[in-house]
Structure 1
Amino acid sequence: MGVPKFFRWLSERYPLINQRLVENSEFDCFYLDMNGIIHNCSQKEQKDNIQTEEELFQKIFSYTDHLFRIVRPRKLIYLAIDGVAPRAKMNQQRSRRFRSVKELEKIKTVVNETSKLSKNEISFFDSNCITPGTEFMKNLSFSFKKWLENKIKFDPEWQQGCDVIFSGSEVPGEGEHKIMNYIRKIQKFNQNKSKTLRHCLYGLDADLIMLGLVAHENQFTLLREKLIWKGTQQNIKPIDSLKKKNQPAGDEFHLLEISLLRDMLYLEFKPKESWRFTFNIERIVDDFIFMCMLIGNDFLPSLPHLSIASGGLNLLVRSYKEIQKDSKGYLTKKYQMHMGRVELFLEKISNEAEEFFFCQNEKNWGGNGSTLDYKESYYSSKLNLDYSSGKDKKRLEKLKSDYIQGLNWCLYYYHKGCPSWNWFYPEYYAPLTSDLKDLKKIKIKFTKGRPFEPLIQLLSVLPPKSSIFLPLTFANLMTDKDSPILNFYPNNFKLDLNGKKNLWEGVVLLPFIDQKKLIDTVNIYGRKESLCKEEKIRNCFGKDVVFFLDSFY
């Protein structure tokens, strides 16, 4: 997942970026962010009466084969499933999985009350099993490798000289970022070659658009299902392409041309009068990616009062154009921020964004409110922080430092790969934009660290009602009343809509996982030595698998 509603905003502002898929489209490299396919197929499980794991796997394989035959890559197909994610992503994963269990409980209640079948005859699919380290994901990776081996041996369509690489859930990293790491390797290998490769990346995640931009490739395309918009996120559905197997690919898919989006950004930001520095489209693209991060992503909350629905991206674009008239350069240089210019930009957007909300809420103070009242109200209600007395000054400074470090973490992650596996933003809300000052004093430093072991990662993201996906000794740590970490796993939690209309947009307020306490508890009570062979395999990391016509390694 990525920036909410980002794709729709782009499509409405730059409609030409969406192109029809035609039969003679040619691509050298095809990348599949597989988790979108896995979730989409699993959501249809009940509807299609799929009863077994094997039947679900076959549906996933069929859709993968369908995409391969549409794109027909000439040189490479790279299939990536999410592995253990950086800690910065786990807070968001944890929120989704806790909310998912609550939604499943509601579905169970409705079905059990209305169905004529007994409870024992009704099965429900808990999508939380689609998490690295579960038996489901281990089985899927194993079956996927066997299926790919079979396709390469016996299917002529897969024997046209195209390399096949599979990165399963046992390989650490988010699927889309494993893909980006591989693209960076290709770029390094091809930097002295004149021929440009044509890249195609499949996925519905809006984050893929920004990753396509950050690749800075001349020929980069996203393959996406056409969506049906019905006003809410739950009703944004891809057209089911498997319903009409004989329909043209252009009727079910379209292409989002990153090269055309780059052209649109060039026209959007091209100065109408002379700038004080050289106009460079690559730097403009990088600054645009940075601006989008301020709206919020999977790693950081958005700045207060900035959302696409309320015109936040329009404000960012307009403010950027205005400050560039007098600026001496760009906001970013690849994965680095220019703190002085970023501070000027933040000051510009805070003047408009916060003033608007201050005026809206002034009536709550009887017309006698002040900016200070507004700030005190925000920090007190969202962060339990005393803004005016000064006793929480150090905490506010840390909040500001953590957020700016988070922006740097995101830039580095998009441009070069994960700068730290263990860093995370330790709050659910961002500081007010007007308080992001004196940024040059903030020191940016990350420790690389290492990814969580898969089973410890499951303890970090799963709710107690999904403890069945863990070995028994680990599962007991989530449910046993004497567990030292029981407070990490509440059965009930608060949901803050935070000004949004839809429940799925709300902030799930959960206790943050204490990494040291979690690992120490597992080492003392988890009894790793008692894990069976299969459980030990689930707790190990793997590597990408490369397939050839007669073998694979």
Structure 2
Amino acid sequence: MGVPKFFRYTSERYPCLNELVKQYQIPDFDNMYLDMNGIIHNCSHPDDSNPHFRITEEKIFKDIFHYISILFQIIKPKKLFFMAIDGVAPRAKMNQQRGRRFRSAREAEKLEEEAKAKGEVLPSEKRFDSNCITPGTVFMARLHEQLKYFVKMKISTDPLWSKVKVILTGHETPGEGEHKIMDYIRWSRSQPDYDPNTRHCLYGLDADLIMLGMCTHEPHFALLREEVKFGKNTQRATSPEETNFYLLHLSLLRQYLEQEFISIKDKLPFEYDLEKIVDDWVLMGFLVGNDFIPNLPNMHINNDALPLLYKTYLTVLPTLDGYINEAGDLHLERFETFMQELAKIDKEKFQDTYADLKYFEGKTGRRPNDRERKEYKPNNDETFNVNIDDIKANKPDDELQALINATQEMFVDDIELDGDDEFDETSDEEANIEMEFIMHKKDYYMNKLDYSKVTEEVLADQAECYVRAIQWNLYYYYKGCPSWCWYYPHHYAPYISDIKGFKDLKFDFELGEPFKPFEQLLAVLPASSKHLLPTPFHDLMTDEDSPIVHYYPINFETDLNGKRNDWEAVVLIPFIDETNLLSAMIPCYQRLTEAELQRNTHGPILVYNWTSDNMGVALAPDYFPPVQECHASEQAVWRTELDVPEDQLQRGMLPNAKRDFVFPGFPTMRHLKYQTCLKKCRVKVFDQPSRNESMIVQVLPEESTNPPLEKVASELLGKVIWAGWPHLTRAK
């Protein structure tokens, strides 16, 4: 899922990033990686809005094989083909998966009910439950066996496949697909024989692949993805032959980012380093929210959050003594300075709310009471117990009153020092705004985060939780999963102005162990998908005496929380308590069959190579003919074998990488003189004019005299040249 709207926003801001794939002009790639879950979803439920749609398992497997074959055929990797399917995810991801699966089950049921209400007759066979695309289900186990057969068949029968190493890391191997790819790239970079000029192509739909690709610091890296149709009623192409594919060039994004932040190049009190600016750019991307952390209040991409972050960065960086994200390690003091500057946005956004409050007061002659603000809920946590009637009477608690008093004293002191009467009214107004702002934030924590009393301890805990989440994210992207059991414990993030006082925090993540597949299934599935689990676990989700039945609400609320689309809403379901979940499961294990117990284990990564030896007949599990002469050798590698000790991690761009060497088909803005500026030009991106600013690149004319046309013609006619800067297409 990644970061909603990030892909479109980045493509609009930097219009040359995406290049339509033309069969005859594809750059040479050494390694190709597939983030497979997008393919599995596309081939199994291409149209979720149609309750009549039905598909057989055979058709799903055939379509997946076909899709993989087409992608391989487009890119034709020279050395490595890597297929990664999501295994068991870290707990931090499971909360988002849980919300998504609860919502998709409810939407599917609603569509069927609406169709029946219209008198439509639905097919008798069961619809495909997309929630089965989760590790540990029968469907995923069968798909894994089919993919093993498919790889052996392709290596044995297709000359292009026989030339490359093929790696399959399936649902049995823990980790999200794209992060298993990153783990492999990190491991490769730490090997002594690694070629720093390896050309990578990564296929996948998630916008966070842009950030993952950038934080590898590999100079030759592109993302492959289908053309995205934006807007209403856009029908998605179902077969790969009907699909346009685009390459998004990260080498070009690096040069665009250089232009984005070029104005501070000569203002820094330390060495300017584009690779380190890229790392800080990745960090800024986390602040608009991702799969692991909710977005900060007022930080929405469609409300210009990213330009605001960039502007703040340009202001703050020259005042610091170094970069904020040091290759995955968060420099807390510098980050705190950045957040304090960013916090001004909280106040600015509140001015609008304050205007509404004053309007209400002007119309009614009184302040809105708590019911007109929000309905508060008392907290279950005893440390925050407070008399709810006090809140109903709108009495500020002691801490809040002290804060308001301090604020008023501060402004009163200012007035006395100034000694000028004309500022009295303004200062009163500022004190009022400050007080209202504090009340407004208190309201947010009580209503959204269910605190019945907002104390300094609460706010300090909120700040610590959030900063810890940012550091977990950075470790995850740059070094691998730092903790399988950590997760962000709230549905909402704190106000930016409350994220402070954390510069002395110490981070100590406990690595722990990934969940077993059935543990994850029970943690992320709604009760309506209980058929995807072995029967002994069903009652845990539905029996009213089950110790964990409260984790599976049939009715639940969603909160748009400033977003526009239903799929972006926060799904308000309770977080799973790991201890409760695991202890409730223990009695069920003895009733599992041997095959079910096997499905609940972790498995290795499979590495395939062509061999001249005849390995015998490779049988297909179902549907397909056997391979009479198999020439694929299979080797099992366990994920821990790819762990890289911290002292062997290669940070930043490798020293012997050829930064200035241009491979054919890898675009660059070098060679020509140009200048850039940001402006709203309604540049057409994905068939729609952009609504935001775009970076316009203007090529500067050469200073030389204009030679006669005949001279130019005699020099160039019949020669192979590079046209279409910056994409540099070969032409004659």
Q: Normalised by the size of structure 1, how large is the TM-score?
A: 0.93
Write the distance in 2 (CA, Å) between the matches of 1:413 and 1:116: 48
Structure 1 residue 461 displacement after superposition? 0.3
- 1:312 counterpart residue number: 305
Task: Choose which of 141, 157, 170 in structure 1 pairs with 2:160.
Answer: 157
> Which residue identity is paired with 2:448?
K
Structure 1 residue 194 displacement after superposition? 5.6
- 1:19 counterpart residue number: 19
Structure 1 residue 158 displacement after superposition? 1.8
DSSP 3-state at the match of 1:552: strand
Closer/same/farther in 2, CA of residues 340 and 236 from structure 1, 3 Å limit: farther
- 1:78 counterpart residue number: 82
> Which residue identity is paired with 1:3?
V
What aligned pairs does 1:463-542 form with structure 2 within 5 A after superposition? 463-523=526-586, 525-526=587-588, 528-542=589-603
Contact 1:108 1:124 survives alignment (8 Å): no
- 2:523 counterpart residue number: 460
Write the distance in 1 (CA, Å) between the matches of 2:487 and 2:196: 40
- 2:397 counterpart residue number: none
Residue 552 (str. 1) matches residue 634 (str. 2): yes
Deviation readout 1:90-116 (Å, 9 max, x if unpaired): 000000000011100012113334465
Task: Choose which of 101, 106, 109 in structure 2 pairs with 1:105.
Answer: 109
Write the distance in 1 (CA, Å) between the matches of 2:563 and 2:200: 36
Structure 1 residue 45 displacement after superposition? 6.9
What aligned pairs does 1:197-236 form with structure 2 within 5 A after superposition? 197-230=198-231
Contact 1:305 1:357 survives alignment (8 Å): no
Worse-matched range after superposition: 360-369 or 416-425:
360-369
Closer/same/farther in 2, CA of residues 195 and 29 from structure 1, 3 Å limit: same
Write the distance in 2 (CA, Å) between the matches of 1:539 and 1:257: 39
Structure 1 residue 352 displacement after superposition? 2.1
Residue 126 (str. 1) matches residue 192 (str. 2): no
Residue 379 (str. 1) matches residue 383 (str. 2): no
Structure 1 residue 21 displacement after superposition? 2.2
DSSP 3-state at the match of 1:179: helix
Write the distance in 2 (CA, Å) between the matches of 1:362 and 1:254: 46
What aligned pairs does 1:23-172 form with structure 2 within 5 A after superposition? 23-24=24-25, 25-44=27-46, 51-114=55-118, 117=121, 119=122, 121-159=124-162, 161-172=163-174
Contact 1:3 1:206 survives alignment (8 Å): yes
Unaligned 5+ segments in structure 2 are 362-431, 611-630, 636-732
Worse-matched range after superposition: 397-406 or 312-321:
397-406
Task: Choose which of 404, 411, 416 in structure 1 pairs with 2:479.
Answer: 416
Contact 1:212 1:258 survives alignment (8 Å): yes
Residue 187 (str. 1) matches residue 185 (str. 2): no
> Which residue identity is paired with 1:384?
D
Contact 1:18 1:257 survives alignment (8 Å): yes
Contact 1:319 1:345 survives alignment (8 Å): yes
Closer/same/farther in 2, CA of residues 402 and 63 from structure 1, 3 Å limit: same
Write the distance in 1 (CA, Å) between the matches of 2:563 and 2:308: 18
Write the distance in 1 (CA, Å) between the matches of 2:35 and 2:288: 23
Residue 326 (str. 1) matches residue 319 (str. 2): yes
CA RMSD of aligned residues (A): 1.9
> Which residue identity is paired with 1:137?
M
Structure 1 residue 454 displacement after superposition? 0.4
Structure 1 residue 152 displacement after superposition? 1.1
> Which residue identity is paired with 2:634?
F
Identical-pair percentage: 45
Write the distance in 2 (CA, Å) between the matches of 1:428 and 1:49: 34
DSSP 3-state at the match of 1:405: helix
DSSP 3-state at the match of 1:15: coil
Write the distance in 1 (CA, Å) between the matches of 2:318 and 2:608: 53
> Which residue identity is paired with 2:286?
M
Larger radius of gyration: 2
- 1:2 counterpart residue number: 2
**Structure showing the higher helix proportion among its residues:** 1
Contact 2:332 2:504 survives alignment (8 Å): no
- 1:266 counterpart residue number: 258
- 1:345 counterpart residue number: 338
Write the distance in 2 (CA, Å) between the matches of 1:37 and 1:316: 34
> Which residue identity is paired with 2:71?
L
> Which residue identity is paired with 2:344?
N
> Which residue identity is paired with 1:182?
Y
Structure 1 residue 505 displacement after superposition? 1.1
DSSP 3-state at the match of 1:372: helix
Residue 405 (str. 1) matches residue 468 (str. 2): yes
Worse-matched range after superposition: 289-298 or 354-363:
354-363
DSSP 3-state at the match of 1:439: coil
- 1:247 counterpart residue number: none
Contact 2:46 2:238 survives alignment (8 Å): no
> Which residue identity is paired with 1:371?
F
Closer/same/farther in 2, CA of residues 90 and 49 from structure 1, 3 Å limit: closer
Residue 437 (str. 1) matches residue 430 (str. 2): no
DSSP 3-state at the match of 2:60: helix
- 2:288 counterpart residue number: 295
Write the distance in 1 (CA, Å) between the matches of 2:140 and 2:177: 14
Structure 1 residue 530 displacement after superposition? 1.7
Structure 1 residue 37 displacement after superposition? 0.7
DSSP 3-state at the match of 1:16: coil
DSSP 3-state at the match of 2:293: coil
Deviation readout 1:342-395 (Å, 9 max, x if unpaired): 11111111102442234235413636662112111211111122565x3xx323
Q: How many residues end up aligned between the 2 structures? A: 536
Write the distance in 2 (CA, Å) between the matches of 1:114 and 1:58: 34
Write the distance in 2 (CA, Å) between the matches of 1:123 and 1:193: 50
> Which residue identity is paired with 1:467?
K
Write the distance in 2 (CA, Å) between the matches of 1:220 and 1:66: 20
Write the distance in 2 (CA, Å) between the matches of 1:32 and 1:402: 33
- 2:681 counterpart residue number: none
> Which residue identity is paired with 2:46?
K
- 2:245 counterpart residue number: 253
- 1:248 counterpart residue number: none
DSSP 3-state at the match of 1:79: strand
Unaligned 5+ segments in structure 1 are 245-250
> Which residue identity is paired with 1:30?
M
Write the distance in 2 (CA, Å) between the matches of 1:357 and 1:241: 48
Deviation readout 1:449-488 (Å, 9 max, x if unpaired): 0000100110100000000001111121001111011111
> Which residue identity is paired with 2:295?
S
DSSP 3-state at the match of 1:547: strand
> Which residue identity is paired with 2:442?
E
DSSP 3-state at the match of 2:191: helix
Structure 1 residue 122 displacement after superposition? 4.8
> Which residue identity is paired with 1:542?
G
Structure 1 residue 38 displacement after superposition? 0.8
> Which residue identity is paired with 1:32?
L
Write the distance in 2 (CA, Å) between the matches of 1:361 and 1:545: 60
DSSP 3-state at the match of 1:344: helix
